[in-house]
Amino acid sequence: MQETPKRKELLKRLSRFRTVPGHGRHISKKTDEELEVFVNLLESMFKRGSSKAKESDTND
């Protein structure tokens, strides 16, 4: 798949996360749109998880 500027940016954002190999399609086979959905999902889960962790720290 050709590496467009959008794809480069998505891969850079994705590089901040570690995923389990063998789950889902290989990153190189995903379209830019699929990558964008995947990256947005990971970012929102991480953001939600860290805000929950901060909440529990303040409640202790």
Average pLDDT for runs of 10 along the chain of length 60: 89 85 76 94 88 70
| Nearest CA among 7, 17, 6 for reference residue 44 | 17
Angle at 15 between CA 12 and CA 21, to 5 degrees: 140
| pLDDT at residue 4, as a whole number | 92
Reading the block at residue 30, the tokens are 């995903």
| pLDDT at residue 53, as a whole number | 74
| pLDDT at residue 25, as a whole number | 65
| pLDDT at residue 32, as a whole number | 94
